[in-house]
Amino acid sequence: MMKRKNIGFISTRFAGTDGVSLEASKWAQVLEENGSRCFWFAGKLDRDPEKSFLVLEAHFLHVQNRWINEQVMGKKGRKPSVTEAIHALRSLLKVQLHCFIDQFKINLLIVENALTIPIHIPLGLALSEVIAETEIPTIAHHHDFYWERDRFSTNAVNDYLRMAFPPNLPNIKHVVINSEAQEQLALRTGISSIIIPNVLDFENPPLVDVKRTEAFRESMGLKADDKMILQPTRIIRRKGIEQAIELVKELKDPRYKLVISHEAGDEGFEYAEWLKEYALEHQVDLRMITTKIVDPFNNGNGQKNYSLWDIYPHADFITYPSLYEGFGNAFLEAIYFKKPLLVNRYSIFIKDIEPRNFDLAVMDGFISKKTVQKVRQILESRERRQKMVNNNYEVAWRHYSYSVLRNQFSAIINDFFNEHEHQQLSNNLSDQRRVIYLNDDQFPAQYDQLN
């Protein structure tokens, strides 16, 4: 049985429907069902304000952090002024992290990707120091390592990457979401880890609000005989959305409308604009949702916007042509809502998911005539769809349900607190601390020019 704790989730952002935010919400749901209390630290938050600790400087898009990234990514040399800026922001964030731990009497930290991908180097450094100094039990939940992304291959911060992405500390237990990440983490750093794949509550089918789902369909301007092909991902290049456009083009049926559920912006808007032009050239009816789509697992803020759970029910088919995924939230969501789907055979899918024997339409990097024929057969045969989606739900229930998460949590948390049962960490935090308060004028003058 897991012991009840005050658990602090930390990342650069817990808001919207990115994979890290969604998975953190699922973890929190399972932990709170067991009696623990979850609190949130980030630079952007849409959680319950009474359980939230918002620090704007912790967001990866904050002006100070953007300036730092511009100076160190894609470059080999680092100026002293950049190093000073990194440590100034690190010190500021370190103070705030200590305040978060104190304010909510945190017993256990769960760091979501902030010690994994170096989109906020000062936050990673601050976290590493706080975790080392306080010895607070910590789960580092890793979604995307820097060595998995070409854009981080040339950088001027290799010393910081070795130090904090991730740190090798005795009070951190490392969790990865696929077997490749586990192997590479051990090979590159000597750090051992456990695999917890993305999960969903397959023990309880989704609750669907019929009125809200119908209202969403109407808001997209879809007619009664229109068929919605849903691309349930963010608009970023590695999602391969042009392949979804290619599929709809090859289906040659004006009833099929391609709908993209998530927003653009995390990696700029150029790709979104190119997709619009590409769809227009191929005479594909592409519809991008303009209203904010919220996290279906996070109801603490009284959100009135549509969630993913209002979108999936009216989808006739799901496209998931990603070039790379750490695991694949949208894959599980499609199966949860018993929707047929097309999947590109990205590397993690081939290694970890495909051996489970799901019934899917698959592609190998491009839309072939064979793929189009199979998708058309699925769309035109109700019997084929029912057999497909029921099989997939059963497979996912066995391998990717919340019970997997509960069992892993129980082992990790019991291990932590058996080891630390004689330590009163929360009482000792303030004794181990030296805090440095910073004024805005301690940052380089370049920050002011970016405002």
Query: Which residue has 């319950």 as its token pair?
Result: 48
Count of beta carbons in the 10 Å neighbourhood of residue 184 = 15
Percent of the chain whose predicted confidence (pLDDT) is above 70 = 89
Residue 216, classified by CB atoms within 10 Å of its CB into exposed (0-12), middle (13-18) or buried (19+), is: buried
CATH 3.40.50.2000 range(s) for the chain read 6-199+401-441, 210-399
**Which residues are CB-neighbours of 433 under 8 A, at least 6 positions away?**
98, 133, 134
How far is residue 305's CA from residue 208's CA, in Å, rounded to a whole number? 15
Q: What is the average pLDDT score of the chain?
A: 89
Amino acid letter at 254? P
Query: Which residue has 């906020």 as its token pair?
Result: 120
User: Which pLDDT belongs to residue 1?
Assistant: 44
Count of beta carbons in the 10 Å neighbourhood of residue 145 = 23
Q: At what angle do helices 241-251 and 369-380 cross, to 10 degrees?
A: 70
User: Which pLDDT belongs to residue 114?
Assistant: 98
**Which residues are CB-neighbours of 44 under 8 A, at least 6 positions away?**
12, 13, 14, 15, 54, 59
Mean pLDDT on 24-33: 94
What are 272's two structure tokens?
């979104």
Residue 178 and residue 144 in contact, taking contact as beta carbons nearer than 8 Å: no
pLDDT in tens, 359-392: 999 999 999 999 999 999 999 999 999 999 999 9
User: Which pLDDT belongs to residue 242?
Assistant: 97
User: Which pLDDT belongs to residue 418?
Assistant: 78
Q: For 210-399, CATH number?
A: 3.40.50.2000
- H helices within 190-343, ranges in order? 210-219, 241-251, 270-281, 308-311, 329-336
How far is residue 227's CA from residue 248's CA, in Å, rounded to a whole number? 11
What are 250's two structure tokens?
């090859």
Containing H/E element for 67? Answer: helix 63-72
Q: Is the peptide bond before 166 cis (omega within 30 degrees of 0)?
A: yes
Q: Is the pLDDT of residue 427 over 50?
A: no
**What global pTM score does this model have?**
0.83
Could you tell me the pLDDT band of residue 303, with boundaries at 50, 70 and 90?
low
User: Which pLDDT belongs to residue 2?
Assistant: 53
Residue 284 and residue 248 in contact, taking contact as beta carbons nearer than 8 Å: yes
Q: Find the range with the poorest average confidence among 51-55, 103-107, 108-112, 429-433.
A: 429-433
Q: Is the pLDDT of residue 7 over 90?
A: yes
Considering only CA atoms, which of 98, 195, 237 is closest in space to residue 411? Answer: 195
Q: For 6-199+401-441, CATH number?
A: 3.40.50.2000
β pairing state of 317-320 and 341-344: parallel
How far is residue 19's CA from residue 57's CA, in Å, rounded to a whole number? 21
Considering only CA atoms, which of 248, 230, 250 is closest in space to residue 239? Answer: 230
User: Which pLDDT belongs to residue 143?
Assistant: 95
Q: Find the range with the poorest average confidence among 187-191, 383-387, 429-433.
A: 429-433
